[in-house]
Structure 1
Amino acid sequence: MSAKVLVVDDAAFMRMMIKDILTKNGYDVVGEAENGADAVAKYRELTPDLVTLDITMPEMDGLAALKEIRSFDSNAKIIMCSAMGQQAMVIDAIQAGAKDFIVKPFNAERVIEAVSKTVAQ
């Protein structure tokens, strides 16, 4: 059975890119969200095995969403996505419980490496 993934990014193009990479590699993208508040709601509804979570988003950013999800599911497997130059935010995210991070623009091999490693944990 393939892992169920929730893809969260405020940019539809980025969601489409990561969804394409994941589905081509056998992962089941069960939902998408365009902000942190939506991500928390979808996480509760869909109970995915893994979340890819953008850091910079409107309404609720990725760090706040990460903390919110981990507050009710301490075993949540979340990979943060960030643009270049957001190292401080990435460190905050890892300290808050993110399992890994991937940098935009997405490199398909790096995405799959991060996802397969995190799912296996």
Structure 2
Amino acid sequence: MARVLVVDDALFMRKMVSDALTKGGHEVIGEAADGAQAVEQFKSLAPDVCTLDITMPEKDGLEALRDILVLDPAARVVMCSALGQDAKVIESIKAGARDFVVKPFQPGRVLEAVDKALA
């Protein structure tokens, strides 16, 4: 079981991800609605895994990913975004994301990505 921080600007998406993770045996320890909140939550909660949307206000997911990896180079981050474009996937993985889940997603795919990040 992993302690997970879920980050997405859409409340319904945070709920979908959180529900999938909880049903899969993981504990959602926090949520954030933008990248700036994600970095602050990451600092205070020290999650095992963080899911990050890419397109968000204040600070996008790629900026938040980079900031989180400065705080903890071993951080496990899974990107979740409707932007399934090859360039964004490649940029996320090169920046240090462990996996990338394209929305709309199946709950099992989120669990697979989190489990892969923990491996």
**TM-score normalised by length of structure 1:** 0.95
**Segments ≥4 residues shifted beyond 6 Å:** none
Shift of residue 85 of structure 1? 3.9
Equivalent residue runs for 1:79-118 within 5 Å: 79-118=78-117
Aligned to 1:68: 67
Shift of residue 86 of structure 1? 2.8
Gaps of 5+ in 2: none
Shift of residue 72 of structure 1? 1.6
Shift of residue 109 of structure 1? 1.5
1:84 and 1:59 map into 2 onto residues whose CA distance is 18
Aligned to 1:47: 46
CA 1:69–1:110: 2 relative to 1, 3 Å = same
Cα RMSD (Å) of the superposition? 0.9
Aligned to 1:13: 12
With 16-25 and 104-113 compared, the bigger mean Cα shift is at 104-113
- Paired residues in the alignment total 119
Contact 1:82 1:90 in 2 (8 A): no
CA deviation string 1:33-65 (max 9, x = no partner): 000000000000000000000000000000000
Report the secondary structure of 2:113's partner residue.
helix
1:22 aligns with 2:21: yes
Gaps of 5+ in 1: none
CA 1:38–1:26: 2 relative to 1, 3 Å = same
Shift of residue 84 of structure 1? 4.5
